[in-house]
Structure 1
Amino acid sequence: MKISTSGVNLLSSMDEVSLHSSTERSNPMVDYEKPGFKLCAYVDRFIKTNAGVIPIIKSTLEKKDLFSTFYVRCGIRRHTYTVAPGLYAIGKPDKNCEVLVTANFKLTFDHLRKELSDINAWILVLDTKGINVWCAAGKGTFSTRELVKKIKDCSLEKIVDHKRVIVPQLGATGVSARDVKKQSGFRVVYGPIRAKDIPIFLKNNRKADKKMRQVSFELYERFILTPVEIQIVLKPALITALILFIISGFGPDIFSFPGAWERGMISVFALAAGIFSGAFVTPILLPFIPSREFALKGIITGSIFAIPLMTIISFVVSGFAGLLALFLFSVTISSYLAMNFTGATPFTSPSGVEKEMKRYLPVQLASLVISSGLWIYSAF
């Protein structure tokens, strides 16, 4: 169990206490821990304010943070990677410093703090249930209600004099500036899309240029999303592989275990090709593949990968029916996974995604049924 962000139950009377300044103790942090509570590694020291004791966080990411980021990028413990909601400080903020609002998804929190190495500011973390700003705004957890609640819970009016909070632009869909002003008295300023632009944004008197307002989706940004896409599909892929081995065993002898193994392994190669094409290649090459529809993009890349695969396995798979079955299966998997990527890109809209799914899901389901029938037929 981690300490709450206020730190009040650990420190009662201090203006600022460093956790690393003691020369008399090998581990001074122990002085501020209690049984059942543990200080977060990103907390450096504490500062006493009119609203209570506030933790001051580090702007430098440690090895543990970097390793955890890697795990989360691969989808491991992604939904529990959080920080406690509340008010934090970075640097040496005073009553005139800005208040930056963010989500309690630690990856988002880390992205923000590492860009603030030379900045004194307050960071107001909303309870978004461990979801990033953009997705949380769409789901309603990064919201007007939550922002107003945290402003009041943290007694922010006692912390700063300017009555102003800076909200990420990607959170604008969930936060109404007018309602926040009406309910809390604080004015909302929408900041840049990317955390790395915040220092320049603040230096320019809280003004964002055109580039700061544009959503990008460059090669690296697409690439770092692919491990999660692949991780998500691993469990369904294992179940699908088991079904493929069972289907591959049907033949003239009703069911053949050698046939299930030999033909099953071939069909698993087709599955792997579809996953690689739809969950990895399509996202990376997204802007360069023709069509605005992701499902069709998956069909194109899936076909490009399936054709060479059919050429290779044609030596062990006899008959046109078997090759066609594997081709349809691999391309369908690629199409479905590519369509599934729509939720991770700025290229689509909710209504567009819904229309595309209604159009292609029946086609994909029919293709799977046909390919399964052809694969069983090819064994006779």
Structure 2
Amino acid sequence: MSSNENSPLEKPHLSTSGVTLMPSMDKVKDKVEDNCCDPVSVHEKPGYTLCPYVDGFITTDTGPVPRIKTALSIQDRISTLIVRCGINRNQYKVAPGLYGVGQPDKTSEVLVTANFKLTFDHLRKELATLNTWILVLDTRGINVWCAAGKGTFATRELVDQIQGADLDKIVDHKRVIVPQLGATGVSARAVKKESGFRVVYGPVRAEDIPKFLKKNRKADHAMRTVTFTFLERIVLTPVELQIVLKPALITALILLVLSGLGPEFFSFTQAWSRGLTATAFLLTGMVTGAVITPALLPYIPGREFALKGIITGSLTGIVMLGIISSAIPSFSAGLALFLFCLSISSFLAMNFTGTTPFTSPSGVEKEMKRHIPIQLVTLVLAAGLWLYSAF
């Protein structure tokens, strides 16, 4: 659970699958851990509450399993918007373990996912017509694709959750469906050897799961294809902007100080007027690198994101120079602002590689080694020219 999912008075202290323990119940923590396989009796105790997405329990041979709702509430949608903006993102998670959707039985499929609540919600809302089990791995609140790369959506964790949930007593078919984007972290052979369960790799997108199951767990080419459409790119940009918000504020203060330096040693009038001009180019570089470049990604020449950021940053820099040309007193000042804009754009565009399937980890590493020195040199040159233009 996340604090996003509760009112301030309901901030969770301990969480089992579908059940939240209140801070006032510390003294019975050990009792809960001994009784965690019986969430119904846990819920009946004072100080406990069901997570909002739980709708009762399913009786199994190993005890009750939380049944989850497939419809997202207004609270879920508001929390999603907040997390999309990067707020409390690292704490937005659900308890790992076994959940059920609909009326699953021993023949129902077991879908594996991460405990990042955004991923969990994205999966459950696509399962309205199905009766399935969901096995949630402890990925430290990270989505499937990133967790597979970081080693938390992994073979060992999957085996531990299979065994911890006594899954062999829940279903008869000895089969789990793992998202295709989690394949890099899960060895099907090792899972089979250690747990007895066979791994079937499902489709890339949760929306294809009903069709995938209807086709007897067969994925067609479209289900296996990783897309990165305009909407899929643009929805990531608020997080990119939020990440750089604090560094941007610090940079803006530094620009005000640098802009005030001149023949009179320091001028508050110059700090304000020149500082605002420089800050305008800072914002232009940020929006260009974190929004415009991702939005136009397939249409910008070049393969390297840093280069794409240079191209878009150069164009927006030229446009800005034209718009506020009256506020730029000299060629050196204009060149400084232009270089500053494209260096910021290039860096933020390169930073976006962490969210895209367009590049590989090794490719990102090479790109960073090649372009970070160039970005630093450009930034230093821009600062030097900006100071020079004041004299």
CA-to-aligned-CA distance 1:5-44 (integer Å, 9 cap, x gap): 17645425xxxxxxxxxxxxxxxxxx94534422101000
C-alpha displacement of 1:372: 0.4
- Aligned residue number for residue 4 of structure 1: 16
8 Å CA contact 1:6, 1:52 repeated in 2: no
- Aligned residue number for residue 218 of structure 1: 229
C-alpha displacement of 1:283: 0.3
CA distance in 1, matches of 2:183, 2:109: 18
CA-to-aligned-CA distance 1:114-159 (integer Å, 9 cap, x gap): 0000100000000000000000000000000000000000000000
Q: 2:368 aligns with which of 347, 354, 357?
A: 357
- Aligned residue number for residue 15 of structure 1: none
C-alpha displacement of 1:313: 2.3
CA-to-aligned-CA distance 1:259-298 (integer Å, 9 cap, x gap): 1111100000010110010000000100000000101100
8 Å CA contact 1:133, 1:142 repeated in 2: yes
CA distance in 2, matches of 1:6, 1:223: 32
- Aligned residue number for residue 91 of structure 2: 80
- Aligned residue number for residue 303 of structure 2: 292
Q: 1:104 aligns with which of 115, 124, 139?
A: 115
Change (3 A) 1:266 1:61: same
- Aligned residue number for residue 23 of structure 1: none
Equivalent runs, 1:34-183 vs 2, <5 Å: 34-183=45-194
8 Å CA contact 2:18, 2:54 repeated in 1: no
- Aligned residue number for residue 218 of structure 2: 207
8 Å CA contact 2:104, 2:133 repeated in 1: yes
3-state SS of paired residue (2:50)? coil
C-alpha displacement of 1:3: 4.4
C-alpha displacement of 1:207: 0.3
Superposed CA RMSD in Å reads 1.2
8 Å CA contact 1:3, 1:40 repeated in 2: no
CA distance in 1, matches of 2:241, 2:339: 21
Count matched residues. Answer: 362
Tell me which amino acid in the other structure corresponds to 1:154: A
Q: 2:329 aligns with which of 311, 314, 318?
A: 318
8 Å CA contact 1:103, 1:142 repeated in 2: yes
CA distance in 1, matches of 2:15, 2:289: 42
Equivalent runs, 1:174-253 vs 2, <5 Å: 174-253=185-264
C-alpha displacement of 1:319: 1.0
Q: 2:379 aligns with which of 364, 368, 377?
A: 368
CA distance in 1, matches of 2:331, 2:196: 71
- Aligned residue number for residue 308 of structure 1: 319
Change (3 A) 1:267 1:6: closer
- Aligned residue number for residue 16 of structure 1: none
- Aligned residue number for residue 327 of structure 1: 338
The 10-residue stretch of structure 1 (137-146 or 37-46) with the greater mean CA deviation from structure 2? 37-46
Gaps of 5+ in 2: 1-11, 20-36
Gaps of 5+ in 1: 13-30
3-state SS of paired residue (1:238)? helix
- Aligned residue number for residue 26 of structure 2: none
8 Å CA contact 2:262, 2:390 repeated in 1: yes
Percentage of matched positions with identical amino acids:
66
TM-score, with length taken from structure 2 = 0.91
CA-to-aligned-CA distance 1:315-347 (integer Å, 9 cap, x gap): 122110000000000110000000000111000
8 Å CA contact 1:6, 1:87 repeated in 2: no
CA distance in 2, matches of 1:118, 1:290: 44
- Aligned residue number for residue 350 of structure 2: 339
CA distance in 1, matches of 2:321, 2:46: 62
CA-to-aligned-CA distance 1:67-96 (integer Å, 9 cap, x gap): 001011111111100000000000000000
C-alpha displacement of 1:187: 0.3
C-alpha displacement of 1:311: 1.6
CA distance in 2, matches of 1:240, 1:103: 36
